[in-house]
């Protein structure tokens, strides 16, 4: 059974300027679409979006919790195909050792 490998990247936080996108929502949607298409071109399939807490240092002794949005992608792990090897045989009229390259000279 084939397994999956995963890649998690930060979700875009700002829209991208693009011709025809007049609203902030349209620019933001384009930024996400561009990221999804870029990952798909590398063989990654969008799995889901998550918002997760991230505890970060704030000053010398305190911490704060910040929530981060990430995009999760997956793709099947490539399984190594079993090698089908054929035994190397020399033609009937070849000199002895020709099959293994013993008579070759550089």
Q: What does pTM read for this prediction?
A: 0.66
Specify the pLDDT at position 19. 87
Beta bridge partner(s), residue 6: 74
Distance CA 8, CA 21 (A): 27
- Identify whether the C-beta of residue 68 lies closer than 8 Å to the C-beta of residue 9: no
Distance CA 75, CA 8 (A): 12
Specify the pLDDT at position 49. 96
Distance CA 85, CA 24 (A): 59
- Identify whether the C-beta of residue 3 lies closer than 8 Å to the C-beta of residue 41: no
Per-residue pLDDT of the chain (106 residues; tens, 9 = 90+): 579 999 999 999 998 888 888 899 999 999 999 999 999 999 999 999 999 999 999 889 999 999 999 999 999 987 765 656 565 555 566 556 555 555 555 4
Specify the pLDDT at position 87. 58
10 Å CB burial of residue 46 (0-12, 13-18, 19+) is: middle
The token pair at 56 is 């970060």
């Amino acid at each position: 059974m084939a397994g999956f490998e995963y890649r998690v990247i930060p979700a875009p936080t700002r829209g991208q300027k693009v011709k025809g996108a007049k609203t902030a929502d349209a620019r933001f949607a384009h930024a996400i679409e561009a990221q999804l298409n870029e990952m798909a071109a590398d063989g990654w399939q969008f799995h889901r979006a998550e918002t997760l807490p991230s505890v970060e240092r704030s000053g010398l002794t305190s911490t704060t919790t910040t929530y981060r949005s990430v995009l999760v992608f997956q793709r099947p792990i490539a399984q190594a195909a079993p090698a089908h090897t054929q035994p190397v045989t020399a033609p009937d009229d070849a000199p002895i050792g020709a099959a293994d390259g013993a008579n070759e000279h550089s």
